[in-house]
């Protein structure tokens, strides 16, 4: 059963503003804080994001495994997800989908966090699983030139996992060139193959996936 608050995660009040439920496929969006995980804790970065009005659901330090949740899964984030359309109308895709869960990783975009230890990743992914976020990355590997608008919109409609720069209309630069197969494979159930990264959302695995840890 899906829980609004991730089991085992520390909590920090990010606001209780009620938001209307969305419709459509569940999604998870990955972004980075632009800070050194060896110097900044998840709690410190979560506090900063809350104070700046940019709270996300989870803030995770992949070196220590510390995970802080500032918003229930049923709340919508303060960070901008999207941009403007052809008519200069503001679009916020964070209000779409049954849930749109945003994970801020304490990391730099230029140094993909999937190249290092990912302590505590498995329970984080299992919590996203519980909300129906499928383990697929339909928009392809983040950190490259973004897809055309119509391609991005089709990928977004399918649900799954996305980089902040892959949200339709987004001008965000993060989270960097992640190894998405490695990222999504941690803690995969025996009856659920480890996922891959191709644009069709097909499932595959890589040897690097074994580096992800769950402690």
- One-character DSSP codes across 2-69: --SS-TT-EE------------S--EEEEEE-SS-TTT--HHHHHHHHHHTT---SEEE-TTT--EEE
- Of the spans 62-66, 174-178, 194-198, which averages the highest pLDDT? 62-66
pLDDT category, 207, cuts 50, 70, 90? very low
pLDDT of residue 213: 40
Confidence class for position 173, pLDDT limits 50, 70, 90: confident
- The pLDDT tens digits for 114-141 are 999 999 999 999 999 999 999 999 999 9
Distance CA 18, CA 75 (A): 7
The closest of 175, 35, 197, 61 to 112, measured between CA atoms, is 175
Strand 58-60 to strand 67-69: parallel, antiparallel, or no bridges (unpaired)?
antiparallel
Burial 140-169 (b: 16+ CB within 10 A, else e): bbbbeebbeeeebeebbeebbbbbbbbbbb
Tell me the per-residue pLDDT of 82-112, one tens digit each, with 9 for 90 and over.
654 443 445 666 677 789 999 999 999 999 9
Q: How many CB atoms lie within 10 A of CB 11?
A: 13
pLDDT at 206 over 80: no
This prediction's pTM: 0.82
How high is the pLDDT of residue 23?
A: 73
Of 90, 97, 99, 94, which is closest to residue 3 (Cα–Cα)? 99
Please state the domain extents for the chain. 20-211
Look at residues 133, 143, 130 and name the one whose alpha carbon lies nearest to residue 178. 143
Class of the domain covering 20-211: alpha beta
Per-residue pLDDT of 179-189, as tens digits, reads 999 999 987 65
| Per-residue confidence band for 16, with pLDDT thresholds at 50, 70 and 90 | low
């Amino acid at each position: 059963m899906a829980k609004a608050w991730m089991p085992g995660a520390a909590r920090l009040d990010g606001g209780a503003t009620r938001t209307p439920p969305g419709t459509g496929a569940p999604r998870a969006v990955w972004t980075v804080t632009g800070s050194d995980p060896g110097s900044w804790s998840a709690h410190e970065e979560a506090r900063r994001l809350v104070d700046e009005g940019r709270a996300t659901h989870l803030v995770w330090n992949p070196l220590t495994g510390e995970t802080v949740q500032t918003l229930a899964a049923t709340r919508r984030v303060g960070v901008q997800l999207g941009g403007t359309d052809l008519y200069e109308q503001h679009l916020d895709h964070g209000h779409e989908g049954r849930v749109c869960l945003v994970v801020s990783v304490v990391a730099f975009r230029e140094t993909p966090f999937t190249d290092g230890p990912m302590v505590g990743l498995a329970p984080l992914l299992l919590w996203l699983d519980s909300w129906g976020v499928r383990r697929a990355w339909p928009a392809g590997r983040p950190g490259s030139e973004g897809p055309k608008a119509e391609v991005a919109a089709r990928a977004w409609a399918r649900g799954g996992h996305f980089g902040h720069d892959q949200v339709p209309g987004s001008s965000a630069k993060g989270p960097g060139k992640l190894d998405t197969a490695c990222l999504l494979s941690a803690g995969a159930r025996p009856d659920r193959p480890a996922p891959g990264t191709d644009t069709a959302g097909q499932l595959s695995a890589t040897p690097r996936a074994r580096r992800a840890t769950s402690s």
